[in-house]
Copies of this chain bind each other. A is one copy, B any other.
Amino acid sequence: MSLDPVLDRIDADLDAALDRLLALLRIPSISTDPAYKDACQTAAEWLADDLKSLGIDAAVRPTTGHPMVVGHIDGPGPHVLFYGHYDVQPVDPLDLWDRDPFDPAIEDTPDGKVIRARGSSDDKGQLMTFVEACRAWKAVHGSLPCKITFFFEGEEESGSPSLIPFLEENAEELKADLVLICDTGLFESRVPAIVTRLRGLLGEEITLTGPNKDLHSGMFGGAAMNPIRVLSSILANLHGPDGTIQVPHFYDGVPELEPPIKAQWDALGFDHARFLGDVGLSDPAGESQHTALEMIWSRPTAEINGIIGGYTGDGFKTVLPSQASAKISFRLVGQQDPHEIRKHFRAWVEAQLPPDVSVRFDEHGASPAGQMETDHPAFEAARAVLSAEWGEEAAFTGCGGSIPIAGYFKTILGMESMLVGWGKDDDQIHSPNEKYDLESFHKGTRSWARILDAIATR
B235 touches A228 (CB 8 A): yes
Query: Which of A233, A236, A286, A316 is packed against the most chain B CB atoms within 10 Å?
Result: A316
Q: Are A316 and B356 in contact (CB under 8 A)?
A: no
Check: A327 CB closer than 8 A to any chain B CB.
yes
User: What bracket does the count of chain A residues touching chain B fall in?
Assistant: 35 or more
A269-292 CB contacts (< 8 Å) to partner B = 272, 275-276, 279-287, 292
**Please, how many angstroms separate the alpha-carbon atoms of A272 and B220 in the complex?**
11
Decide: B199 and A356 in contact? CB cutoff 8 A. no
Residues in B with CB closer than 8 Å to A220 are: 279, 296, 400
- The answer, among B212, B233, B283, B296, for a CB contact under 8 Å with A355, is B283
With an 8 A cutoff between CB atoms, is A29 at the interface?
A: no
**Which residues from chain B contact A235 at a C-beta distance below 8 Å?**
228-229, 232-233, 236
Number of this chain's copies in the complex: 2
Judged by DSSP, the binding face of A is mixed
What's the nearest-Cβ distance from chain B to residue A128, in Å?
Answer: 25
Question: With A222-B331, A236-B232, A236-B236 in contact, is A303–B281 under 8 Å at CB?
Answer: no
Query: For the complex, is A37 an interface residue (Cβ under 8 Å from B)?
Result: no
| A290 CB, min distance to chain B CBs, angstroms | 8
User: Which residue from chain B places its CB closest to the CB of A331 in the assembled complex?
Assistant: B221
Chain B residues in 8 Å Cβ range of A321: 305-306
- The reply to whether A316 and B203 contact each other, CB–CB distance below 8 Å, is yes
Is A307 at the interface (CB under 8 A from chain B)?
A: yes
In the complex, the answer to whether B236 meets A285 with C-beta atoms within 8 Å is: no
Contacts of A284 in B (CB 8 A): 223
Residue of B nearest to A282 (CB): B356
Q: Would you call B305 and A307 a contact (CB within 8 A)?
A: no
Known: A233-B236, A285-B223, A296-B223. A218 touches B400 (CB 8 A): yes
Q: Which of A217, A223, A319, A324 has the most CB of B within 10 A?
A: A223
A393–B234 Cα distance when bound, in Å, is 45
Tell me the bound Cα distance from A286 to B222 in angstroms: 5
Interface residues in A293-345 by Cβ distance below 8 A to B read 295-296, 299-301, 303-312, 315-321, 324, 326-327, 329, 331
Interface presence of A77 (CB below 8 A):
no
Residue pair B303, A217 in contact (C-beta under 8 Å) = yes
Known: A308-B308, A309-B306. A276 touches B224 (CB 8 A): yes
- Using CB atoms and an 8 Å cutoff, list the residues of chain A in contact with chain B: 199, 201, 203, 205, 210-213, 215-226, 228-229, 231-233, 235-239, 272, 275-276, 279-287, 292, 295-296, 299-301, 303-312, 315-321, 324, 326-327, 329, 331, 354-356, 364-365, 399-402
Question: Can you list 29 A-B pairs with a CB-CB distance of less than 8 A?
Answer: A210-B281, A215-B279, A217-B329, A218-B331, A218-B399, A221-B329, A222-B286, A224-B276, A228-B235, A228-B304, A228-B306, A228-B326, A229-B238, A229-B239, A231-B232, A232-B235, A232-B304, A236-B237, A304-B309, A305-B317, A305-B318, A305-B320, A306-B311, A306-B317, A308-B308, A310-B327, A315-B364, A316-B327, A316-B365
Name 12 extra pairs, CB < 8 A, besides A221-B303, A222-B285.
A201-B318, A210-B281, A215-B279, A216-B400, A217-B329, A217-B331, A222-B303, A223-B275, A282-B356, A283-B356, A285-B356, A316-B364
